[in-house]
Amino acid sequence: MSGFDKVVSSYSEAMEGLQDGMTIIAGGFGLCGIPEGLIAQIKTMGTRNLTVVSNNCGVDDFGLGILLEDKQISKMVSSYVGENALFEQQLLSGELEVELTPQGTLAEKMRAGGAGIPAFYTATGYGTPVGEGKETKVFDGRPYILEESIRGDFAIVRAWKADKYGNCIYRHTAQNFNPMAATAGKITVVEAEEIVEPGELEPSQIHTPGIYVNRVIQGSFEKRIERRVVAKEA
């Protein structure tokens, strides 16, 4: 085995080092492109008081939503939470702290964190509750608010294909947040639909270079549909 080989054989090894109180950045968009097995492993570990940064929090019984069942998440940084009744219940009861963040701002917080940029200015959210208490500056006559970037203790992402060195390709909608999340973790774990040998991926098609990735595990995915919509019969 090469010293560059990042493949691990078990989910416990994949999430080794996760502790109470840590911050996890999770890829995925709705239920598309989520690292199902890694989320299940966090559930099994029972790790608590977690801050989770993700576009959304799954649904009641799937995705990140399963971590709400035993109140493992204490704070959620998200842009969309409309599909999870348990999330709403814990938010309204004060059991779950929620930092709602505009979707593009959330993506840039991850990207900037991975690029070593501590903060950036954006016009999004100015004059709304999102901008309250944040530094403001005017550029070309337009006001902007200062947003801090995000780094996580762990980043968990899902790849369509990954090689043993950690180079990753994402597919379709899974490209929305996984590439940014992958760069923003101190430890980045990739759950892949398929693991291939180094050299099998076309270099120009790689979305996440292996330099960002610490561990790779072969996953098995349910690929549940969040909201099924079918056409009426003619």
Query: Which tens digit of pLDDT belongs to each residue from 82-99?
Result: 778 899 899 999 999 999
**Res. 53: pLDDT tops 80:** yes
Domains held by the chain: number? 1
The label of the residue with tokens 């799954």 reads 58
Q: What is the CATH number of the domain that holds 104?
A: 3.40.1080.10
Mean pLDDT of 2-11: 87
pTM: 0.90
Q: Is residue 230 part of a domain?
A: no
The label of the residue with tokens 């090689």 reads 163
Instruction: Calculate the alpha carbon distances from 234 to 74, 228, 229, 230, 231 in Å.
Output: 48, 18, 15, 12, 9
Q: What gap in Å lies between CA 169 and CA 147, rounded to an integer?
A: 29
- Range in 1-5, 95-99, 136-140, 175-179 the model is least confident about: 1-5
Under the banding of pLDDT at 50, 70 and 90, the label for residue 221 is: confident
Q: Is residue 232 part of a domain?
A: no
| Structural domain span for residue 16 | 11-119+136-218
Q: Is residue 43 part of a domain?
A: yes
Q: What pLDDT, on a 0 to 100 scale, did the predictor assign at position 30? A: 85
CB 226 within 8 A of CB 31: yes
Q: What pLDDT, on a 0 to 100 scale, did the predictor assign at position 83? A: 76
Mean pLDDT of 96-119: 96
CB 46 within 8 A of CB 70: yes
* Per-residue pLDDT tens over the stretch 165-212: 999 999 999 999 999 999 999 999 999 999 999 999 999 999 999 999
Query: Angle 75-81-87 (CA atoms, 0-180°, nearest 5)?
Result: 55
Q: What pLDDT, on a 0 to 100 scale, did the predictor assign at position 223? A: 63
Output the six-digit token pair for 169. 């390709």
Phi (first) and psi of residue 5, to 5 degrees: -70, 120
Q: Is residue 130 part of a domain?
A: no
Q: Is residue 206 part of a domain?
A: yes
